[in-house]
């Protein structure tokens, strides 16, 4: 291989080595940031208890709404049955006339 052919290959190798060094620096910075973040968040989030209380409140509210919906369905069904019975009685009366 001539020296002319080696120059692009050497340039490529130098570029790759430079990129490797840069990536190593970025990796080390990321590791340091991760360590800082892990140290800073050692304890539980102070909002956690507040959010748990809110979730529990919403669960109770949902259960109450579901119960109300069931009652309303039952009332609707009773009203529908009453209307059907009244219509049958009207039909029977008209048939007798």
77: pLDDT strictly greater than 80? yes
Share of the chain above pLDDT 70, in %: 91
pTM exceeding the 0.85 threshold for the entire prediction: no
Average pLDDT, the chain: 88
Count of residues making up the chain: 97
pLDDT tier at 8, thresholds 50, 70, 90? confident
83 to 53, 69, 72, 75, 79: CA distances (angstroms): 45, 21, 16, 12, 6
CA-to-CA distance for 64 and 50, rounded, in angstroms? Answer: 21
CA-to-CA distance for 39 and 32, rounded, in angstroms? Answer: 11
Residues 31-55 pLDDT 10s:
999 888 877 766 677 788 999 999 9
pLDDT tier at 68, thresholds 50, 70, 90? very high
> Tokens in use for 5?
């052919």
């Amino acid at each position: 291989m001539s020296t002319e052919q080696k120059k692009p290959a050497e340039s490529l190798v130098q570029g790759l080595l430079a990129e490797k060094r840069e990536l190593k620096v970025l990796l080390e910075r990321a590791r340091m940031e991760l360590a800082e973040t892990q140290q800073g968040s050692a304890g539980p989030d102070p909002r956690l208890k507040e959010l748990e209380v809110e979730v529990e409140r919403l669960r109770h509210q949902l259960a109450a709404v579901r119960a109300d919906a069931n009652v309303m369905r039952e009332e609707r069904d009773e009203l529908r049955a009453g209307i059907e019975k009244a219509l049958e009685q009207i039909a029977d009366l008209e048939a007798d006339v």
